[in-house]
Amino acid sequence: IKIFKSINLEVVTRFAPSPTGYLHIGGARTAIFNYLYAMKHNGKYLVRIEDTDKKRSTKEAVQAIHDGLNWLKINSKEEIVYQSSRLNSHIKVAYELLEKGYAYKCYLSTDELQELRNKSREKGIPIKSPWRNKSTNDLNENYVIRLKMPTEGSTIINDLVQGEVSVKNEILDDMVILRSDNTPTYMLSSVVDDYEMGVTHIIRGDDHLNNAFRQIQIIKYMSWKEPFYAHIPLIHGTDGSKLSKRHGATNVFEYNNMGYLSHAMFSYLLQLGWSSNNEEDYQISRAVKLFDIKKINKSPSKFDIKKLNNINSKFLKELEISEVFNLVSKSFNLNLNQLEKNRLLGLLPELLKRVNLYTEIRDDIEWITNKDFICKEEVHKETLETNSIMFKEISLLLKNCTWSKDKIDITLKEYIVDKNLKFKDIGYPLRIALTGKPNAPDLVSVIYELGCEIVINRLNYQY
User: Which residues of the shown chain bind ligand GLU in the complex (CB under 6 A)?
Assistant: 16-18, 50, 190, 204, 208
Beta carbons of 62 and 29 less than 8 angstroms apart? no
Q: Which is nearer to ligand GLU, 16 or 97 (CB)?
A: 16
The H or E element that residue 192 is part of is helix 186-196
Q: Which is nearer to ligand GLU, 132 or 208 (CB)?
A: 208
- Residue 81 is classified by DSSP as E
Q: Least Å distance between CB 298 and ligand GLU?
A: 19
Distance from C-alpha of 424 to C-alpha of 29, rounded to nearest angstrom:
48
The torsion angles phi and psi of 397, rounded to 5 degrees, stand at: -65, -45
- Residue 48 is classified by DSSP as E
Q: Least Å distance between CB 212 and ligand GLU?
A: 8
**Cβ contacts of 376 within 8 Å, gap of 6 or more:** none
Q: Least Å distance between CB 409 and ligand GLU?
A: 58
Q: Least Å distance between CB 80 and ligand GLU?
A: 14
Q: Which is nearer to ligand GLU, 231 or 263 (CB)?
A: 231
Q: Least Å distance between CB 216 and ligand GLU?
A: 12
Beta carbons of 174 and 129 less than 8 angstroms apart? yes
Distance from C-alpha of 462 to C-alpha of 103, rounded to nearest angstrom:
87
Q: Which is nearer to ligand GLU, 90 or 204 (CB)?
A: 204
Q: Least Å distance between CB 161 and ligand GLU?
A: 14
Beta carbons of 209 and 275 less than 8 angstroms apart? no
The torsion angles phi and psi of 205, rounded to 5 degrees, stand at: -65, 150
Q: Least Å distance between CB 190 and ligand GLU?
A: 5
* In the complex, residue closest to ligand GLU by CB: 204
CA distances from 5 to 35, 224, 280 (A): 22, 17, 36
**Cβ contacts of 16 within 8 Å, gap of 6 or more:** 47, 48, 49, 50, 83, 190, 193, 204
Q: Which is nearer to ligand GLU, 13 or 356 (CB)?
A: 13
Dihedral of CA 198/203/205/206: which sign?
positive
Q: Which is nearer to ligand GLU, 16 or 47 (CB)?
A: 16
Q: Which is nearer to ligand GLU, 33 or 268 (CB)?
A: 33
